[in-house]
Structure 1
Amino acid sequence: MPDNVQGPAIDRGDRAALRADCANCFGLCCVALTLTRSADFAIDKDAGKPCRNLQEDFRCGIHTELRTQGFPGCTVYDCFGAGQKVSGETFDGQDWRRAPQIAGQMFQVFPVMRQLHELLWYLTESLSLEPARPLHAEIRRTLDETERLTHLPADAFSDLDVAGHRDVVAELLLRTSELVRATAPRRKKRDHRGADLIGARLKGADLRGADLRGAYLIAADLTGADLRLADLIGADFRDANLSGADLTGSLFLTQAQLNAARGDAATKLPPSLGRPTHWDR
């Protein structure tokens, strides 16, 4: 490990460092990523080209009107804090406008950092799960290694085997999930991993302890459903109705998944996540 690489900095009891802080980012998600004209984005935009709505101060000019202006995909996206890490640490506060020579590398590092930060989110959650205690030592080691990778110098990211590291983490998260879901009361075999549940009528369904990893729940009716202890990693909740659903204790749920769904004041959420503002409209 290079001498200038910092050690673990994630507080395992607080995921604040894994939440997007747009005020301390140089608008990287608005530049580095490709946008494709669709129901989520009103325009086509190549990677490395600033979005037309990005202002000189790196703020979005239509932030409060993204959904009505045809950019609901922007309200769903979550960088897990990768933006401020790349802006403030990896590139030491240099921005791509004043230092155009670093722009290309910065835009390449950002999506890699985002993947690592997402893994940190899941691993940090895993350490809070009591049924997974037999795995906690291994989880800590993997979390520390993932955190170490986020502190690598910019030129090291091009050689980083992110896919290989994701596979290691994925296997560990699966084992964690199995231990936790085994505690679900009256658990039946509910293996819906990668299932096509688009538009499914699951109102009031008892999905406690279900494996919904990567399931397609687009526009599904989950009104009043019980999703406690359900593994939701990678589940697609776009336009799913979560009104009155109980998501407390669900596994590996992210803010981006909630932002893509519909819900109401009766939807019960894990304490680490917030109620999307558009649910109140």
Structure 2
Amino acid sequence: MINIHKNIYNNKLFDELKIDCKKCFGLCCVALYFSVSDRFLIDKESGKPCINLQSDFKCSLHNNLIKRGFKGCTAYDCFGSGQKVAQVTYKGIDWMQSPELANQMSEVFLIMRQLHEMLWYLKEASILNISDTIKSKTDLIIEETEKITNMSPEQLIDLDITSHRAKVNSLLSQASESVMRKVKSFIKTSTFKTMKKLSKNIDLIGVDLRKTNLIGADLKGRFLIAANLKDTDLSGANLIGADLRDCDIRGANLENSIFLTQLQVNTAKGDSNTKLPASLVHPKYWGK
């Protein structure tokens, strides 16, 4: 078995990075835009409240989003940035009470969402089986990023988030490379080395990968839309930024994959036999 994680998983590590809509002001229903597709029934402009958003910030279609043509809403994950902006940045003041803050709040939410996504990856990196040097660097940048999330709205808007993301990405690359070296060592001594190797072709849309060795696979940023990964083992696979929309992961083992998020899981097709990392949950609408 591949030793991916150095530290025992602590669920509290990700608590503040998980959605709590009850503490938010429907910010994703305002700040985001979407257009008519198989995931959205209508067009919506950025900064304009969704027609389904009620005065209490609840969705009128919450229990029937998929049936009513809003499948995309069930997949979205703000990484807890909504409640952070609502309760910490704006201290409970909502955009309905103070409409003059509506545009600023939407802008801050989009920035906070990026920061919280970075924190999710960084906190996962902190529990991976990486060197002490990389671990120390990871802890420092986590502390730095958390301090940034507590800045004022004006400071957040002025933030050079591109520069900060570059630092985070560099560290995540170091962490994933460290894990990959251990995984490759495992593969050399396992029967999986006789399986077909993963194609270097970026486009894996609709491809059947069931007979491909995906242990330790570098799937970073790759298009796996509607691909067949049923019953495959993705231990050690790097899934950061991979597009898993309608990807079949029924019965697949992603328990020890790295940099997988709830957003990716929500867009894929899984079932009760799909093994996920301890930080993620099975969507209620997945098959049994």
Per the TM superposition, whether the score is higher than 0.5 is yes
User: In the alignment, residue 79 of structure 2 is paired with which amino acid?
Assistant: F
Deviation sequence 1:230-270 (CA, Å, 0-9, x none): 00000000000001110011000001101100011111111
Closer, same or farther: CA 204–190 of 1 in aligned 2, 3 Å: closer
- Give 1:36 deviation, angstroms: 1.1
Map 1:239-278 onto structure 2 (within 5 A).
239-278=246-285
- Give 1:132 deviation, angstroms: 4.1
The separation in 1 between residues aligned to 2:234 and 2:203, in whole angstroms, is: 17
Q: 2:109 corresponds to which residue?
A: 110
Map 1:219-234 onto structure 2 (within 5 A).
219-234=226-241
Closer, same or farther: CA 168–191 of 1 in aligned 2, 3 Å: farther
- Give 1:64 deviation, angstroms: 1.1
The separation in 2 between residues aligned to 1:200 and 1:249, in whole angstroms, is: 22
Closer, same or farther: CA 72–192 of 1 in aligned 2, 3 Å: farther
User: In the alignment, residue 147 of structure 1 is paired with which amino acid?
Assistant: E
Q: 1:131 corresponds to which residue?
A: 130
- Give 1:42 deviation, angstroms: 0.8
Map 1:148-163 onto structure 2 (within 5 A).
148-163=147-162
2:73 matches 1:66:
no
270-279 vs 20-29, which moves further:
270-279
User: Match of 1:168, SS?
Assistant: helix
The separation in 2 between residues aligned to 1:214 and 1:265, in whole angstroms, is: 26
The separation in 1 between residues aligned to 2:100 and 2:12, in whole angstroms, is: 38
Q: 2:6 corresponds to which residue?
A: none
18-27 vs 187-196, which moves further:
187-196
Closer, same or farther: CA 63–194 of 1 in aligned 2, 3 Å: farther
The separation in 1 between residues aligned to 2:287 and 2:147, in whole angstroms, is: 40
254-263 vs 153-162, which moves further:
153-162
User: Match of 1:176, SS?
Assistant: helix
User: Match of 2:276, SS?
Assistant: coil
Deviation sequence 1:47-75 (CA, Å, 0-9, x none): 11110110111011111111111111111
User: Match of 1:214, SS?
Assistant: coil
192-201 vs 216-225, which moves further:
192-201
Q: 1:6 corresponds to which residue?
A: none
Closer, same or farther: CA 193–32 of 1 in aligned 2, 3 Å: farther
- Give 1:191 deviation, angstroms: 7.1
Q: Which of 224, 234, 240 is the aligned partner of 1:217?
A: 224
- Give 1:181 deviation, angstroms: 1.7
- Give 1:134 deviation, angstroms: 3.1
The separation in 2 between residues aligned to 1:279 and 1:88, in whole angstroms, is: 32
The separation in 2 between residues aligned to 1:152 and 1:66, in whole angstroms, is: 34
Q: 2:43 corresponds to which residue?
A: 44
Question: So what's the TM-score if we normalise by structure 1?
Answer: 0.92
Question: So what's the TM-score if we normalise by structure 2?
Answer: 0.90
2:187 matches 1:186:
yes
- Give 1:151 deviation, angstroms: 0.5
User: In the alignment, residue 253 of structure 1 is paired with which amino acid?
Assistant: L
The separation in 2 between residues aligned to 1:205 and 1:109, in whole angstroms, is: 42
Deviation sequence 1:199-227 (CA, Å, 0-9, x none): 01112532111110001000000011110
Deviation sequence 1:57-114 (CA, Å, 0-9, x none): 1011111111111111111110000000000111111000011111111011000000
The separation in 2 between residues aligned to 1:17 and 1:262, in whole angstroms, is: 26
The separation in 1 between residues aligned to 2:197 and 2:152, in whole angstroms, is: 44
2:215 matches 1:208:
yes
- Give 1:157 deviation, angstroms: 1.7
Contact kept in structure 2, 1:34 and 1:45, CA below 8 Å: yes
- Give 1:192 deviation, angstroms: 6.4
Contact kept in structure 2, 1:12 and 1:124, CA below 8 Å: no
Contact kept in structure 1, 2:36 and 2:42, CA below 8 Å: yes
5+ long unaligned stretches in structure 2:
1-9
